[in-house]
């Protein structure tokens, strides 16, 4: 067996690989950029080596820096995880040339399957059905004609892509050329390869994949299937195994095709063959020549450690089980918690994780993460915070475990998709299995932007009680972050003024040793008792017990108090501290603010130009994806504050428009 392993990755997957390495007695070596010096994966490793600055292309994507780190640390092998260099054939070859074992397939298999156009051709030759499309000379000779032959809607996809990046759906021929240019730019930035291919966009297909494994002796097996149909922008949101409600005969045909696909390229190690399923037909989509983000659902239904399998195969050992010995038990579902804003087109978010709490004692729930409370979600890397994976005896049981687990999650400091995930796992359509790859964006878009729950007197009362209790820990009338056990006592009446949901609310709180009564301006009131234990408010409002986790943020000019519970979070501000924020809003009226940190990659306008509402003014690249900044109104561009190549911070004024 391998005795020392360098993990050429970061975050959750690096931590995941290290856990297996530690169990097997393998020395683990982390690599880190300047941005990750204090990261969780660095702290967990036996050794760690710096490989460069924060930018991925100067650190985690620097092949020579990674190989040099492996040599200096005495590593015998390199595990690439997923992302970064995981599907880079040149890197796999360079590892082998340096005397390092690459924990993955042979370079040639990566090269064939990594180039989506070459993979299509190889699969057709192997008799595996593929999605109708165009690539290579046919596409390059006349892109518009090739697109017309494929038919609309169609998908433009980076030949070397993956992870939902470098993809655009085009429905109107008028949008084809601009989308083609955008995908080529994204592909070049994210994968160093601007080649693309076209595929027919199958509107209501299911995305089903098969986990395969092969050893160097020529044995190839599958570990059943997974359904990844719930997606946004071609990136998976919910993954489950086995795929529900598919005929066993169809599953057997797909599994056989997946094994044939692996054997057609001389595959070794872990891989995933992805298909689109329409009715009783399936079509080869691509093969991921690495460990998948969603591999835990397969681990939970089979009881196998896929990373251990990878390390055994990379050590030259045979597969630990034959096809007949691999068993499937129960059902598993996984969701990914991201720092992103679903209501704003899933824009990535950055910031400090002021609060991060996961359930740690829920039977059937597994949490994989690479961050801790207090860590910073950086603009340089993928914004995934954690994966929640639930197992149950059947699908409903697994979803129930997942729902309970998500209800117990507390995260604050960055925008996340937590509310979306909570809604998804209880949604009737998802529960029934009536989903497809376009379902979330076309039929369930309201889940990404749910209406804010109506503000109740109970909400206001709990916020007012938190303020009153916090005041008991004040000095000179200023809010402090120190919280401790405290009960309301001594008969007192206090006034609390809150700003919430663009409304100023004034409340009176009457309290004594027996409890409290909160009275609104309308005269309505609620009563009960409350205790502040650490950073948790436990209150009874008209007989209903509620537990709220509190976050007090006094860093800005407007101190904010956030109450978080299983139903979501709501933030209240002290009204007399809002002046600074209101002044800032006036200062940027008519301006376009950067929604996230990034780099300007394209600029379409100049000062003095007239624009219409919705016109694209510039394009930002952030986290390997492009985001178009559009004019919110018609007018004349009065300022352009950045040039192509400039880096911008979140909230920076990119440009300004004088309305017509």
User: What positions carry a catalytic annotation?
Assistant: 290
Match 């030759």 to its residue by tokens.
125
475 DSSP 8-state letter: B
Residue 229 half-sphere exposure, CB side, CA atoms within 13 Å? 28
Residue 342 half-sphere exposure, CB side, CA atoms within 13 Å? 26
In 3-state terms, what secondary structure has residue 222?
strand
Strand partners, 618: 603, 629
Residue 379 CB: number of other CB atoms within 10 A?
A: 21
Rg (CA), the chain: 27
CA distances from 208 to 87, 122, 273, 286 (A): 21, 20, 9, 11
Residue 478 CB: number of other CB atoms within 10 A?
A: 9
Strand partners, 570: 563
Listed in sequence order, the residues at least 6 apart from 645 whose beta carbon sits closer than 8 Å to its beta carbon are 599, 600, 601
CB 512 within 8 A of CB 488: yes
CA nearest neighbour of 505 among 468, 467, 460? 460
CA 136 to chain CA centroid, Å, is 32
CA nearest neighbour of 166 among 133, 198, 131? 198
CA nearest neighbour of 257 among 231, 283, 279? 283
Separation between Cα atoms, residue 452 and residue 457, nearest integer Å: 15
CA nearest neighbour of 37 among 17, 58, 51? 51
CA angle (537, 540, 541) in 5-degree steps: 115
Q: Where are the alpha helices (DSSP H) in 425-479?
A: 428-432, 439-442, 457-471
Separation between Cα atoms, residue 123 and residue 463, nearest integer Å: 60
Residue 113 CB: number of other CB atoms within 10 A?
A: 26
Separation between Cα atoms, residue 306 and residue 317, nearest integer Å: 14
Separation between Cα atoms, residue 620 and residue 653, nearest integer Å: 13
- For the chain, the 3-state helix, strand and coil shares in percent, each to the nearest 5, are 30, 35, 35
Indicate the Cα dihedral angle 166, 163, 76, 111, nearest 10°. -50
Separation between Cα atoms, residue 163 and residue 157, nearest integer Å: 11
Residue 283 half-sphere exposure, CB side, CA atoms within 13 Å? 15
58 DSSP 8-state letter: G
Reported as type and span, the H/E element at residue 360 is none
């Amino acid at each position: 067996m391998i005795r020392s392993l360098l993990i050429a990755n970061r975050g959750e997957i690096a931590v995941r690989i290290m856990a297996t390495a530690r169990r097997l007695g393998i020395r683990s070596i982390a690599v880190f950029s300047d941005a990750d010096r204090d990261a969780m994966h660095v702290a967990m490793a036996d050794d760690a080596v710096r490989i460069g600055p924060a930018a991925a292309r100067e650190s985690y994507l620097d092949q020579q820096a990674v190989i040099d780190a492996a040599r200096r640390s005495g590593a015998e092998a390199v595990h690439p995880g997923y992302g970064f260099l995981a599907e880079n054939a040149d890197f796999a070859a360079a590892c082998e040339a340096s005397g390092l074992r690459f924990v993955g397939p042979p370079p040639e298999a990566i090269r064939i399957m990594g180039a989506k156009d070459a993979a299509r051709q190889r699969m057709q030759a192997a008799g595996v059905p593929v999605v109708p499309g165009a690539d290579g000379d046919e596409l390059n000779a006349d892109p518009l004609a090739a697109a017309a032959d494929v038919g609309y809607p169609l998908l433009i996809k980076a030949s070397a892509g993956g992870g939902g990046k470098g993809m655009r759906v085009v429905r109107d021929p008028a949008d084809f050329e601009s989308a083609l240019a955008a995908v080529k730019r994204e592909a070049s930035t994210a994968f160093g390869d601007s080649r693309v291919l076209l595929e027919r966009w199958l509107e209501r297909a299911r995305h089903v994949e098969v986990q395969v494994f092969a050893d160097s002796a020529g044995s190839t097996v599958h570990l059943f299937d997974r359904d990844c149909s719930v997606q946004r922008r071609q990136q998976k949101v919910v993954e489950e195994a086995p795929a529900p409600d598919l005929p066993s005969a169809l599953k057997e045909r797909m599994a056989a095709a997946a094994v044939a696909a692996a054997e057609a390229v001389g595959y070794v190690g872990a891989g995933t063959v992805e298909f689109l399923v329409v009715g009783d037909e399936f079509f080869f989509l691509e093969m991921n020549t690495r460990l998948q983000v969603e591999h835990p659902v397969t681990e939970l239904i089979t009881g196998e450690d896929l990373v251990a399998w990878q390390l055994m195969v990379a050590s030259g050992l045979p597969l630990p089980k034959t096809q007949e010995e691999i068993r499937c038990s129960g059902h598993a579902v996984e969701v990914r918690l991201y720092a992103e804003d679903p209501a704003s087109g899933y824009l990535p978010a950055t910031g400090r994780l002021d609060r991060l709490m996961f359930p740690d004692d829920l039977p059937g729930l597994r949490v994989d993460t690479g961050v801790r409370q207090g860590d910073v979600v950086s603009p340089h890397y993928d914004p995934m915070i954690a994966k929640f994976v639930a197992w149950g005896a059947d699908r409903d049981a697994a979803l129930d475990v997942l729902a309970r687990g998500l209800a117990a999650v507390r995260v604050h400091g960055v925008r996340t998709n937590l509310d979306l995930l909570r809604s998804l796992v209880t949604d009737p359509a998802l529960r029934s299995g009536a989903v497809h790859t376009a379902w979330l964006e076309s039929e369930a878009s309201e889940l990404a932007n749910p209406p804010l729950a109506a503000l109740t007197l109970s909400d206001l009362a709990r916020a007012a009680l938190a303020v009153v209790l916090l005041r008991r820990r004040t000095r000179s009338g200023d809010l402090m972050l120190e919280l401790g056990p405290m009960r309301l006592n001594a008969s007192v009446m206090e006034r609390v003024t809150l700003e919430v949901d663009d409304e100023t609310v004034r409340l009176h709180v009457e309290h004594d040793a027996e409890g409290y009564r909160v009275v609104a301006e309308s005269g309505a009131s609620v009563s009960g008792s409350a205790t502040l234990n650490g950073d948790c408010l436990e209150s009874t409002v008209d007989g209903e017990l509620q537990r709220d986790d509190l976050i007090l943020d006094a860093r800005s000019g407007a101190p904010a108090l956030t109450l978080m519970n299983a139903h979501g979070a709501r933030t209240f501000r002290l009204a007399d501290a809002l002046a600074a924020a209101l002044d800032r809003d006036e200062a940027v009226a008519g301006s376009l603010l950067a929604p996230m940190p990034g780099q300007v990659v394209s600029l379409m306008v100049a000062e003095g130009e007239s624009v219409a509402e919705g016109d694209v003014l510039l394009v930002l690249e952030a986290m390997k994806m492009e985001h178009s900044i559009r004019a919110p109104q018609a007018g004349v561009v009065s300022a352009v504050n950045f040039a192509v190549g400039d880096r911008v911070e979140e909230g920076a004024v990119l440009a300004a428009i004088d309305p017509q």
